[in-house]
């Protein structure tokens, strides 16, 4: 099975690279040949997962990137995994894209223990089917994938050399309250989905909401010194469903007290979509953020960096992967800014 999975993966990469669909549109980022079934070590079920490794991984250990889907889709929305696959293919890394129980609306999903274990099992699947550098295992995701990235950072800090979370949901009870507001950017269906996963409203199942929230666990990542990159668009919560305070509070939980952003400033940013003058970014130029997605606020403390950029519910995967490429497990976070680079603003599916 080992050589079959890698051979099929390599064949699919060649077959799909640069291919065109009818009407001149690009084909899907990769073919179904990359789909494997991973047995859950928690409940024994077979779980779908995308897996690719370069040919050289047969003889030398390579980094591994875990790509995640967003809140509402499942593994079949391949676009969610495309940034991780593209980066892995271009840089000779391996990639896994677990389903982690699909849309966040059932008890096993939405940060439930089965979903968490599915990601661990996907990493172990890659390690058992090809050579992986255990000091360079990374995870990245946006929106619901950002939620799971930070949850995994806290639940299993021993695995990760670095984590990237865009527009993450970090407190499910708070997001439930956010989602039921009559507000231009919110969507009440998310509250319904959380109730389906947690078995009721936060007032009825407070421990379920707490258990599935990254803020409950993130201190484990802080203590372990896991390098973490968090970024969100300043208009999320208005042009998007996740108020920026979710990302900022995750940063605060990881940062030294003196570097944290006050709750009054978080409220001002969420209410006005503007950064108070005292917090506006005036640091060195970052080539991954230009006039289109300029940095409004950036804070770096301990092993975490937070960036608030011009945009909505979106990620900047080139910036995130550049950060991950310099991280090595057991070493302090490397926040060096490259002299060259080009970012993008990838709208995140909801």
CATH number of the structural domain spanning residue 331? 3.40.50.1820
Indicate whether 20 pLDDT > 50. no
Number of domains in the chain: 1
pLDDT tens column, 171-208: 999 999 999 998 888 879 999 999 999 999 999 999 99
Q: Is residue 308 part of a domain?
A: yes
Indicate whether 143 pLDDT > 60. yes
Of 143 and 16, more confident: 143
Q: Count of CB atoms within 10 A of residue 257's CB? A: 7
Mean pLDDT computed over 123-137: 98
pLDDT tens column, 36-83: 999 999 999 999 999 999 999 999 999 999 999 999 999 999 999 999
pLDDT of residue 26: 57
Q: Is residue 39 part of a domain?
A: yes
Indicate whether 316 pLDDT > 70. yes
The residue whose two tokens read 């999320």 is 236
pLDDT of residue 7: 41
Indicate whether 299 pLDDT > 60. yes
Q: Is residue 270 part of a domain?
A: yes
Strand, coil or helix: 92:
coil
Strand, coil or helix: 59:
coil
Output the pTM of the full model.
0.91
Q: Is residue 4 part of a domain?
A: no
Q: Are 85 and 67 in contact (CB under 8 A)?
A: yes
pLDDT of residue 350: 62
The residue whose two tokens read 């953020």 is 289
The residue whose two tokens read 């089917």 is 129
pLDDT tens column, 245-280: 999 999 999 999 999 999 999 999 999 999 999 999
Dmax (CA) of the chain:
58
Neighbour-count burial for 295-330, b at 16+ CB within 10 Å, e otherwise: bbbbbbbebbbbbbbbbbbbbbbbbbbbbbbebebe
Q: Are 109 and 201 in contact (CB under 8 A)?
A: no
Q: Is residue 196 part of a domain?
A: yes
Neighbouring residues of 289: CB distance < 8 A, sequence distance ≥ 6 = 295, 307, 309, 316, 319, 343
Question: Which residues form the domain of 42?
Answer: 29-347
Confidence band, pLDDT 50/70/90 cuts, at residue 102: very high
Output the average pLDDT for the chain: 92
Q: Is residue 12 part of a domain?
A: no
Mean pLDDT computed over 106-114: 98
Q: Is residue 19 part of a domain?
A: no
Mean pLDDT computed over 86-92: 98
Indicate whether 18 pLDDT > 70. no
Structure tokens at 319: 């910036």
pLDDT of residue 4: 42
pLDDT of residue 349: 64
CA-to-CA distance for 36 and 51, rounded, in angstroms? 7
First to last CA, the chain: 35
pLDDT above 70: percentage of residues in the chain: 92
Mean pLDDT computed over 105-109: 98
Mean pLDDT computed over 117-143: 98
Mean pLDDT computed over 204-228: 98
Phi and psi torsions of 126, nearest 5°:
-60, -40
Q: Is residue 131 part of a domain?
A: yes
CA-to-CA distance for 177 and 183, rounded, in angstroms? 11
Closest Cα partner for 164 from 103, 234, 87? 87
Indicate whether 8 pLDDT > 50. no
Q: Which one-letter DSSP state was computed for residue 80? A: G
């Amino acid at each position: 099975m080992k050589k079959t999975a890698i051979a099929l993966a390599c064949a699919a990469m060649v077959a799909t690279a640069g291919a065109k669909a009818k009407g001149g549109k690009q084909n899907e980022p990769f073919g179904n040949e990359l789909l494997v079934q991973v047995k859950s070590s928690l409940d024994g079920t077979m779980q779908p997962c995308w897996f690719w490794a370069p040919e050289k991984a047969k003889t030398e250990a390579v980094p591994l990137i875990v790509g995640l889907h967003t809140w509402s889709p499942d593994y079949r929305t391949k676009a969610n995994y495309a940034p991780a696959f593209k980066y892995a293919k271009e840089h000779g890394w391996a990639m896994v894209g677990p389903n982690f129980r699909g849309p966040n609306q059932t008890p096993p999903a939405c940060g439930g223990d089965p979903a968490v274990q599915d990601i661990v099992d996907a990493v172990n699947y890659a390690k058992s089917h090809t050579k992986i550098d255990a000091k360079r295992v990374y995870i990245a995701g946006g929106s619901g994938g950002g939620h799971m990235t930070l949850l995994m950072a806290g639940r299993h800090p021993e695995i990760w050399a670095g984590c990237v979370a865009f527009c993450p949901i970090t407190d499910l009870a708070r997001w439930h309250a956010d989602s039921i507001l009559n507000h231009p950017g919110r969507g009440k269906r998310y509250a319904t989905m959380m109730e389906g996963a947690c078995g009721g409203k936060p007032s009825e199942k407070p421990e379920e909401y707490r258990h599935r929230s990254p803020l409950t666990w993130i201190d484990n990542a802080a203590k372990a010194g896991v390098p973490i990159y968090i970024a969100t668009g300043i208009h999320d919560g208005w042009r998007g469903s996740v108020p920026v305070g979710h990302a900022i509070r995750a940063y605060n939980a990881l940062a030294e007290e003196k570097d944290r952003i006050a709750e009054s400033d978080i409220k001002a940013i969420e209410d006005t979509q503007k950064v108070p003058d005292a917090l506006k970014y005036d640091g060195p130029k970052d080539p991954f953020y230009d006039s289109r997605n300029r940095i409004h606020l950036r804070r770096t403390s301990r092993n975490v960096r937070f960036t608030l950029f011009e945009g909505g519910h979106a990620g900047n995967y080139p910036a995130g992967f550049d950060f991950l490429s310099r991280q090595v497990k057991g070493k302090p976070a490397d926040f060096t800014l490259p002299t060259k680079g080009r970012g993008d603003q990838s709208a995140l599916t909801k």
